[in-house]
A = this chain, B = another copy of it.
Amino acid sequence: MELLKQRILQDGRSLPGGILKVDSFLNHQLDPNLMFKVAEEFRRRFEGVNVNKIVTIEASGIAPAIILGYIMQLPVVFIKKKEPKTMDNMLVSEVRSFTKNRVYTVCISNSFLTANDHVLFIDDFLAYGNAAMGMIDLARQSGATIEGMGFIIEKGFQHGGDRLREMGYNVQSLAIIESLENCQIQFR
């Protein structure tokens, strides 16, 4: 997605350690017009895929997911990153975050992810694929089918995308970073 790549080059910052900061438009401050364009591109990429629900993970996945849900007229569920005490009937999994160097619990109510669901999973970043593996585990527990996975930015050099594609998932990333070596942003 050319518009997104241009924006990453213009406003993104590459920091030592393979970190790409996009917090001026994607995951702290959000550009609603870019989010709308991103959602439209997801709809185009997943056209014809049989989906009845969009699932994302808090917090940065929510903005693109809700707009995509509006465009596609589908409900959106966001996976929570801790067990809220007022939520019963939860499916729970564990996700390792390399960026934050910790393991966290993710959960979703089994009222909102069931064996009848055909899910499009949306998230802002695909790096090692650990959040996506959490989604896969929750889907397995519930019996839901993952019909597609859409990411705004994939860090190709961290190979989560390779892993998911090898597993047979329909993975669509709107911008794939091939390398951040020497803090230079290079797309695949």
Contacts and interface: CB of A to CB of B under 8 A. Distances in A.
Given A58-B59, A63-B66, A86-B21, A28 B77 contact: yes
Interface of A: 15, 19, 21, 23-24, 28-33, 35-36, 58-59, 62-63, 66-67, 69-70, 73-78, 80, 84-87, 99-100, 108-109, 111-112
Nearest to A100: B85
Question: Among the interface residues A36, A76, A111, which one has the most CB atoms of the partner chain B within 10 A?
Answer: A76
Question: Among the interface residues A21, A29, A111, which one has the most CB atoms of the partner chain B within 10 A?
Answer: A29
Given A23-B87, A30-B78, A36 B112 contact: no
B111 A75 contact: no
Given A15-B86, A62-B63, A78-B30, A24 B112 contact: yes
A32 B86 contact: no
Given A19-B86, A24-B111, A100-B85, A78 B59 contact: yes
A81 to B, nearest CB: 8
B66 A35 contact: yes
A121 to B, nearest CB: 15
Nearest to A85: B100
